[in-house]
Amino acid sequence: MKRILALSAVFTSLTASVEALNAPQKLDFYVGADAQATSVSLNPVNADGRFATMGLRAGVYLFKGVAIEAQTSTSVSDDTIASINTEMDSSHAVLIRLQTPRQQGFLFDLGLGYASTNLTLVDPETQTHEELTEDGFAWSARVDYALTSHWRVAFDYTARNNSNTTDIDSYGLGVSYTF
């Protein structure tokens, strides 16, 4: 499913980016908030954890269909991964978003960029704290629907494959306001 979503995202976003090169526009800003279900996979121990996270995002359109977006989120829950209490303290990302033209209120976009995620691991037996930071490539795919000329609702998938040992994926539902 992820591969089909990724391939369709690449195809539609590439067609949108070709159109965007010829269409400069005034700078439009947007802000949004997301509720996300986030999973963390620690590959050496083959263990997964799930978190509820809340996120904020803000972006500016550089061209028609091309935006730069900053995101930040934090967990509102924690989980136990391989007998270790784990909390996602924060996640920050900067993405370039490539969007298809809006049709019947809907558009699709692909985000490519960089993310940094901070995890806190606490061993319940020894109370040893370990801070883990995962930095690297991130991509996302989003389906966006315009409720009005300013308000949008979106479903988003984001993958942060930051290292060979940790994969972080999230599915989110959010709203945004374009100025």
> Could you tell me the pLDDT band of residue 17, with boundaries at 50, 70 and 90?
very low
Determine the Cα–Cα distance for residues 31 and 3; give it in Å rounded to an integer: 29
Q: What is the mean pLDDT of residues 33-56?
A: 85
> Could you tell me the pLDDT band of residue 89, with boundaries at 50, 70 and 90?
confident
Q: What is the mean pLDDT of residues 75-92?
A: 83
DSSP state letters, 93-157: EEEEEEEPPPBTTEEEEEEEEEEEEEEEEE-TTT--EEEEEEEEEEEEEEEEEESSSSEEEEEEE
Find the range with the poorest average confidence among 64-78, 79-93, 109-123. Answer: 79-93
List pLDDT tens digits, range 118-159.
888 888 888 888 888 888 899 999 999 999 999 999 999 999
Q: Domain 2-178 is of which CATH architecture?
A: Beta Barrel (2.40)
Residue 35: the pLDDT is: 96
In single-letter form, the type of residue at position 13 comes to S
Residue 5 has pLDDT above 60, yes or no: no
Determine the Cα–Cα distance for residues 176 and 77; give it in Å rounded to an integer: 24
DSSP-assigned beta bridge partners for residue 122: 85, 129
List pLDDT tens digits, range 25-44.
567 899 999 999 988 887 76
Q: What is the mean pLDDT of residues 105-119?
A: 94
Unique residue bearing structure tokens 């976009």: 109
Determine the Cα–Cα distance for residues 179 and 174; give it in Å rounded to an integer: 17
